[in-house]
Every structure is written in C-alpha cells, then in structure tokens.
C-alpha cells in the first residue's frame, strides 16, 4: 500500500518559546501547510491558536485556516481538531464541524498525558460523531490504547458506517500504548482489514514509529504537534519541513510511494471538491 502522510503542524502544546518554528497564526499554518503540500502530504491535521498562542475552538479562526489551505492546496484532505483537553463543552468542541472540513478528529476515550487529561465521555464521543455525520464530515479515529480501537469499531457498527475509515494510532504517551513490536502488532491487528491506518509517535518515539509504519506499508502521522526535536539527543529543534523531508527519505529508501488525498478516498460526497 502507498504511504499516507498525515501532517500535524501545530497541536495544542508547542509555542514559539518552546520551538520558534511552530506555526501559530492562520497565515503561518497555511504557509507551512502549503510548503508541506508542495513537498507531498496526504492530509493535514489542524489546530487553531489565538494571538496569545493559546489553543482555540473558535470557528472564525478555523475558517481562515481552512479557506487558506483550500486556496493553496487543492484537494488536500483537511482535518480539524475536536480535542477535549482545553474545551469541555460540546458546543465548543463541535463548532468547527459546522465548517464541513473533510475530517474531524475523534478521540475514542478519556486519557491522561504527563501533565493534563483529555476527557472524552461516551455521550460526548457519540454526539461529536453524530454531528460529523450530519455535516458530512469523516471521523479521524484517534487511538492511544487498545480499548479505544475496540470502542471505535463499536461506534462504526452502532452508527452503521460501513465504508473504510481512517485511524490514527499514537504510541509513546505515558498512560497509553507503547511503541514495542508486540503492542504495535496488537493494535494493527485490531483495526478492520480494509481500513486506513497511520502510526504516530510522541517525542523521541516519532521517528522510530514512523520508520516502522513505512516499512510495514502503513501511513505516518508527523509534525511538531507530536515532536519538537529533530535528533534523539535533543540538540536540534525541528521544523515541520525538516521532519517531513526525513519521511520522504524513508519512503524513498523503502521503495514506497506517497498516497494522494484522492487515493485515500475519504471525501464525503457532500463535501467533495473539484
């Protein structure tokens, strides 16, 4: 299978003081996404920020980013975050769905990070998915543990979603699944056979997890959202393009090919762009 590259340029944690290369403003996010698109990516996973660099759910900010990306990156699959790390209410988390991006993230359970928690109650997850379906938005199924994969399959059946879905499995979180051969193998084996899978790694695990994914014929999730360093010794602050160029080198070494947005085939007919 060709390699999916899910480009994650910003996230909710990195700031300019942590890594000066982090895109914060809509124009910066659009510019870096355009540069990544020219190099070659399959999709972009977007988070929005305010002028003070704090994460925001506001539709008006997301609209500027989405419009800019659609202008400069024709047919690129756009995914927006519905994260619950900072915003607890359904109205806040679901506001971006109303802009009808191609995908929105759907974290499939609550989880702890090192210093914070992401609360995702069952009724919240199901309500977000129901709204995505109503607005013609595909879910990006985000999993940090095996139980999340099981819950994702339950939801797909409950909501009668029969077409192949896209799964992000993220390894290396302190309270989640770890990037060992046994745990990676167990996670992959739980996803339905005809679905799309990308593997991501947090911090120092990003390169290793991405390398294993490419070798195994799976997709990758890559960008400053998950990892601000280029090297294991944490001496070189990465840029998104540095990380992306390394992925392309790995694809070439492994004699793989990039999967285009169109080949990923997740456009809902309601939102398909010419």
pLDDT for the residue 115: 86
| Distance of alpha carbon 160 from alpha carbon 68, whole angstroms | 33
From residue 14, give the alpha-carbon distance in Å to each of 11, 39, 53, 231, 252: 7, 23, 9, 17, 29
* CA contacts within 13 A on the Cβ side of 160: 0
Rounded to whole angstroms, the Cα distance separating 21 from 92 reads 28
- 207: nearest Cα among 172, 182, 175: 172
Q: pTM of whole model > 0.85?
A: yes
User: Could you tell me the domains of the chain?
Assistant: 5-264 (3.20.20.70)
Q: How confident is the model at residue 266 (pLDDT cuts 50, 70, 90)?
A: low
pLDDT tens per residue, range 7-56? 999 999 999 999 999 999 999 999 999 999 999 999 999 999 999 999 99
Average pLDDT over residues 189-196: 96
What is the distance between the terminal CA atoms of the chain, rounded to a whole angstrom?
Answer: 25
Contact 98, 57 (CB under 8 A): no
- Kindly tell me if the per-residue pLDDT of 268 is higher than 80: no
Q: 15, 24 in Cβ contact below 8 A?
A: yes
Q: Which residues of 120-137 are buried (b: 16+ CB within 10 A; e: fewer)?
A: beeebbeebbebbbebbb
pLDDT digits (tens, 9 = 90+) for 55-98: 999 999 999 999 999 999 999 999 999 998 888 899 999 999 99
Q: What is the pLDDT of residue 270?
A: 42
Averaged pLDDT of the chain? 95
């Amino acid at each position: 299978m060709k390699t999916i590259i899910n480009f994650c340029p910003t996230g909710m944690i990195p700031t300019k003081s942590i890594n000066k290369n982090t895109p914060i403003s809509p124009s910066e996010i659009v510019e870096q996404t355009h540069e990544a698109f020219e190099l070659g990516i399959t999709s972009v996973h977007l988070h929005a920020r305010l002028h003070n660099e704090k994460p925001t759910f506001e539709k008006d900010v997301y609209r500027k980013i989405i419009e800019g990306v659609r202008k400069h990156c024709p047919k690129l699959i756009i995914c927006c975050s519905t994260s619950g790390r900072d915003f607890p209410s359904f109205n806040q988390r679901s506001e971006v769905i109303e802009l009808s991006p191609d995908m929105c993230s759907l974290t499939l359970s609550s989880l702890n990070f090192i210093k914070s928690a992401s609360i995702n109650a069952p009724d919240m997850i199901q309500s977000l998915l129901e709204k995505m379906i109503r607005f013609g938005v595909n879910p990006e199924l985000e999993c940090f543990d095996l139980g999340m994969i099981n819950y994702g399959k339950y939801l797909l059946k409950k909501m009668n979603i029969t077409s192949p879905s896209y799964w992000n499995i993220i390894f290396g979180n302190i309270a989640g699944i770890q990037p060992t051969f046994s745990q990676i193998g167990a996670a992959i084996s739980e996803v339905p056979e005809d679905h799309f899978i990308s593997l991501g790694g947090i911090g120092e695990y990003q390169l290793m997890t991405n390398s294993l994914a490419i070798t195994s014929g799976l997709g990758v999730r890559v960008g400053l959202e998950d990892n601000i360093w280029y090297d294991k010794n944490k001496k070189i602050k990465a840029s998104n393009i540095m990380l992306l160029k390394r992925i392309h080198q790995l694809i070439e070494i492994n004699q793989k090919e990039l999967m285009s947005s169109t080949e990923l085939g997740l456009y809902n007919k309601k939102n398909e762009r010419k």
